[in-house]
Amino acid sequence: MGFFALSILILSSYAWAIGKWINRWRKVSKVNEGAASILVDSGLTVIVPSRDEASHLPLLLADLKNQSLSVRVLVVDDQSEDDTMAQASALGVEVIPSEGVGKKAAIITGMKVIKTPWVATLDADVRVGHDWAKSMVQAAADRSAQAVVGTVRLTPHAHGWQRFQALEYGCMMVWIGGGISKGTLAMGSGANLLFSHAHYPIDELQTHWASGDDSFALEALREAGHSIVWNGDQAARADTATAPDWPTLWMQRARWASKAQGYENEESRNIAGLVAAVSLVLFAWIVASVLLLNLRVFGATCLLWMIKTLVDGAMLRTTSRGFEISLNLRDIMLFPIRYLILVVGSWVKMMSGKMVWKGRRI
């Protein structure tokens, strides 16, 4: 039963990590509420890198037009094949073509032309509230930060499939928020970030990777000794839609995983390895139970799954409360199974070499 002892050790490490994340999350400082007079003329430009986003852009642009803090908006078109540029222009927003290919090239193009002291990046398919800009800039001003990481939440939460995605993504936000506040992480979602324009590390984006503008930019800032803060204010949250099916979700996560080779942050690498180890162990026990038809093996498998379910349940309850995502017992029981399907499917997709994003091979 040496493998069983190893499995217990790996799951114990996982439980310890989850406990640490929950504890850090409880200590995350919240941004002070209320507007500060220094923000009236803060000077914020929002860069929206866009490729084939004609159906999403009008909603986000309406949100940005309705901000309590005035913002400038720049849409950078990444060789769209629909009428993204026409849609943005018709809504009175400045639109320029990207000088290269991909999201990072679009961001770099925007960074070169804007003049404001603050710059934010939002994905074209997110929605933000009335006080989003005010909360993000105020977080930077009040805490003397060069970068602010805002929350991204997946919606809606009507069905189990949607809740699984929202909860799983929310767990990552808990890890990231706690890690940033602790000073051990420098990553977030590129769908909701704010930077000091003067400090944005254009040369560190590593454009040869298809994803990771958030991680590479934030890690470069941290390495340079600049301050990065987490904005847990609900007003600063950006909402975006859940994936419609498993293949779409696998493709997204395979794309995200592909950038992991470029990570320099020790905690990010360690967590990626731990999650992979847990998934491999559980998958191996399932296969052994099916092939061996041994009662002891089946019992060991059930015990390990029970431990994983209990540990995940604690994290899910924390995430549910933190991001207003409904949670029931069925969600908790099915989460480890769904998550294993997510991990295995993403691995298969990544190893196949047939990853596509926005109509392009990665």
Quick one: pLDDT at residue 138?
92
The CATH number given to 27-244 is: 3.90.550.10
pLDDT digits (tens, 9 = 90+) for 288-332: 999 999 999 999 999 999 999 999 999 999 999 999 999 999 999
More confident residue, 70 or 30: 70
Average pLDDT over residues 45-54: 94
Quick one: pLDDT at residue 32?
45
Average pLDDT over residues 79-102: 90
> Prior bond to 58 cis, omega within 30?
no
Q: How confident is the model at residue 152 (pLDDT cuts 50, 70, 90)?
A: very high
CB-CB contact of 139 with 233 (8 Å): yes
Overall size of the chain counted in residues: 362
CB-CB contact of 66 with 133 (8 Å): no
User: In Å, how far are 16, 221, 250, 253, 332 from 189, measured between CA atoms?
Assistant: 25, 15, 18, 13, 25
Average pLDDT over residues 263-267: 72
| pLDDT at 33 > cutoff 60 | no
Quick one: pLDDT at residue 37?
44
Edge-first strand listing for the sheet containing 152-155: 127-128, 238-241, 152-155
User: In Å, how far are 123, 256, 271 from 42, measured between CA atoms?
Assistant: 22, 33, 37
Global pTM exceeds 0.85: yes
Question: SS3 helix, strand, coil % of the chain, rounded to 5?
Answer: 55, 15, 30
| pLDDT at 38 > cutoff 60 | no
More confident residue, 61 or 27: 61
- Which residues are CB-neighbours of 65 under 8 A, at least 6 positions away? none
Quick one: pLDDT at residue 193?
96
